[in-house]
């Protein structure tokens, strides 16, 4: 087997299925001559990118880019996100942690409020409402008197207009706990793509609005979260993820601003959209926006979202300690590697790929490049920065410096999340065009090209509502993803494989031995 340099392309959000509910499979409807030719000519299969294949609790759990790139980059399956938190809650370990005792003890001793900020749904990608319920219930048992929930509305990992289902659920749950000595209620909120949950420092004004809304209690006031959702829907026609920020008030006063002496928990377990708010709470030297007088509070995340940055300093559940990643193996073998994407997925080919590690394993052998994303709605420019990412990949190929090159095209996922099917079709076609350019460069310079995806999204953009009607689906799909090896001389094994089998396959192609803890490679 030739030990050619390997180029791995990750087409984010491009699942593989022949199903086409309501004509919503934009991968199927897109004009993709490059992918079609590759699938016709070269060894290919589909691999699992969700559920237990990526360390999530069950095969009903959709995959996501974070766990997907963890699995792609480490060749193993680690317990992830929801599963980690589930285990910690079920065992009681979370509630015995020093952090939880510090947070609740602070509120008891100071008669202060315990705040929970996070995505209010059971999507199991960023959060789960069941975790929030467990935290609130235990807080009451610890003697906390006042709880406030700052509810970010989903509509992305769950149906697009399902917010009231979760608002009513948590309101009913809290009413069942409330009594003369305990008061829990929703204090503020807004759509996840409008307030608080930015990532990769692409749109700090989102986080600044979250600070103003959750911390200061400033913004348009409503009597309840249900009223806010209903009024905003009527006024804007927006789906849940795009609803404006709101503040719950009584007699003109917000019911839950965050003030000195309070404790705050960000109950999301996924890290990418939790880092910036954590910076705003944790960092003394902070200039991304004007926080005004910063309240002196105890702040914690559900997880530590970045181990190298130690952010946040306090957290409730230990993240998976991922070892023996592909990058480590290649560094040990002295093989230079290159990673690139645009801002929206840059962290996925670096931080998540390297096992939730911000720092490189080797400054000499690892090169990372970021192409800045546009700050605009992705359906307005569905080609995003695919051409610029390709330019960087082709430059890396032509340099002859690298034994392994990886890139991510975010289009199929980021545009798919908007629910705009026409734009998503263009997004998939844009990636196909760029894939041809990379393939041509690989052929010209003797590189082996492998193509896959991290999860589905653009392949399933419609779903049936309870009444049988079709509605937009902005969440990831449960479909497998393609895996293509662009070399007619190679062959793939039969069997059931997942994303964690990709790294071993890369090492097979390089003629390198995989760590004993890895899964098997897919090459015969």
The answer to whether the CB of 176 falls within 8 A of the CB of 140 is no
Burial class (CB in 10 A: 0-12, 13-18, 19+), 391: middle
Residue closest to 77 by CA, chosen among 63, 93, 88, 91 = 63
Which residues are identified as catalytic? 65
What are 366-417's pLDDT values in tens digits? 999 999 999 999 999 999 999 999 999 999 999 999 999 999 999 999 999 9
**What band does 465 get if pLDDT is binned at 50, 70 and 90?**
confident
The DSSP 8-state label assigned to residue 522 in this structure reads: S
Beta bridge partners of 482: 46
- Which residue, chain included where needed, has tokens 């969700």? 50
Nearest to 394 by CA among 35, 9, 44: 9
Question: Average per-residue pLDDT in the chain?
Answer: 96
- Mean pLDDT over 7-11 rounds to 98
**pLDDT class for 208, splitting at 50, 70, 90?**
very high
pLDDT band at 492 (very low <50, low <70, confident <90, very high): very high
Length of the chain measured in residues: 524
Please tell me the predicted confidence (pLDDT) of residue 172. Answer: 98
Spatial neighbors of 222 by CB under 8 A, at least 6 apart, are: 228, 231, 246, 247, 248, 249
The CATH homologous superfamily of the domain defined by 6-79+322-510 = Alkaline Phosphatase, subunit A (3.40.720.10)
pLDDT value for 82:
86
Average pLDDT, integer, range 415-423: 96
Query: Once rounded to an integer, what is the mean pLDDT over residues 294-309?
Result: 89
What's the whole-number mean pLDDT along residues 109-123? 98
State yes or no: pLDDT of 2 exceeds 70: no
In this prediction the pTM is 0.80
307 pLDDT band, cuts 50/70/90, is low
- Domains 6-79+322-510 and 82-317 fall in the same CATH topology: no
Span 125-138, pLDDT tens digits: 899 999 999 999 99
Spatial CA neighbour of 461 closest among 10, 22, 85: 22
Q: What is the pLDDT of residue 1?
A: 40
Percentage of the chain lying above the pLDDT 70 cut: 99
Region 56-72: mean pLDDT is 91
The average pLDDT across 447-460 equals 98
Q: What is the pLDDT of residue 466?
A: 72
pLDDT in tens, 154-194: 999 999 999 999 999 999 999 999 999 999 999 999 999 99
User: Could you tell me the residue ranges of all domains in the chain?
Assistant: 6-79+322-510, 82-317
213 backbone dihedrals φ, ψ, rounded to 5°: -75, -55
Average pLDDT over residues 501-508: 98
Residue 51, pLDDT score: 93
Q: Which fold has domain 82-317?
A: 3.40.1450
């Amino acid at each position: 087997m030739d030990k050619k340099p390997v180029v791995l392309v990750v087409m984010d959000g491009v699942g593989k299925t022949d199903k086409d509910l309501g004509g919503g499979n934009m991968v199927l409807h897109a004009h993709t001559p490059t992918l079609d030719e590759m699938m016709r000519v070269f060894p290919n299969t589909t691999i699992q990118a969700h559920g237990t294949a990526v360390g999530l609790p069950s095969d009903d759990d959709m995959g996501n880019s974070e766990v997907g790139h963890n699995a792609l980059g480490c060749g193993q399956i680690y317990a992830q996100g929801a599963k980690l938190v589930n285990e910690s809650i079920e065992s009681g370990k979370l509630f015995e942690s020093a952090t939880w005792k510090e947070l609740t003890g602070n509120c008891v001793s100071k008669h202060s409020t315990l705040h929970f900020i996070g995505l209010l749904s059971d999507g199991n990608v960023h959060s789960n409402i069941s975790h929030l319920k467990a935290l609130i219930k235990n807080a009451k048992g610890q003697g906390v008197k006042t709880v406030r929930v700052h509810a970010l509305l989903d509509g992305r990992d769950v149906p697009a207009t399902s917010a009231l289902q979760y608002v009513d659920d948590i309101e009913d749950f809290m009413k069942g706990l409330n009594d003369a000595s305990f008061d829990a209620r929703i204090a503020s909120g807004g759509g996840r793509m409008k307030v608080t949950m930015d990532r990769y420092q692409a749109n700090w004004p989102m986080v600044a609005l979250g600070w103003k809304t959750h911390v200061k209690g400033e913004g348009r006031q409503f009597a309840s979260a249900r009223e806010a959702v209903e009024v905003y829907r009527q006024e804007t026609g927006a789906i849940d993820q795009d609803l404006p920020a709101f503040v719950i008030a009584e007699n003109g006063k917000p019911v839950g601003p965050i003030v000195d002496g309070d404790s705050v928990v960000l109950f999301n377990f996924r890290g990418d959209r939790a880092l910036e708010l954590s910076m705003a709470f944790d960092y003394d030297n902070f200039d991304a926006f004007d926080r005004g007088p910063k309240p002196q509070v105890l702040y914690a995340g559900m997880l530590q979202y970045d181990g190298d940055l130690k952010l946040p300093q306090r957290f409730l559940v230990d993240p998976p300690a991922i070892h023996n990643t592909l990058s480590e193996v290649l560094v040990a073998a002295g093989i230079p590697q290159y990673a690139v994407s645009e801002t929206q997925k840059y962290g996925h080919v670096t931080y998540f790929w390297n096992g939730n590690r911000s720092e490189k394993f080797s400054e000499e052998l690892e090169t990372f490049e970021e192409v800045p994303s546009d700050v605009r709605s992705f359906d307005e420019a569905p080609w995003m920065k695919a051409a610029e990412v390709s330019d960087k990949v082709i430059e890396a190929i032509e340099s002859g410096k690298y034994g392994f090159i990886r890139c991510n095209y975010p289009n199929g996922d980021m545009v798919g999340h908007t629910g705009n099917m026409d734009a998503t079709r263009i997004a998939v076609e844009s990636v196909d065009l760029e894939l041809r350019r990379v393939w041509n460069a690989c052929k010209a310079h003797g590189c082996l090209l492998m193509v896959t995806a991290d999860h589905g999204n653009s392949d399933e953009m419609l779903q049936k509502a309870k009444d049988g009607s079709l509605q937009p689906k902005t969440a990831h799909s449960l479909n497998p993803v393609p895996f293509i090896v662009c070399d007619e001389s190679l062959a793939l094994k039969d069997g059931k494989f997942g994303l964690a089998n990709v790294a071993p396959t890369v090492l097979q192609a390089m003629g390198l031995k995989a760590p004993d803890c890895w899964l098997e490679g897919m090459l015969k």
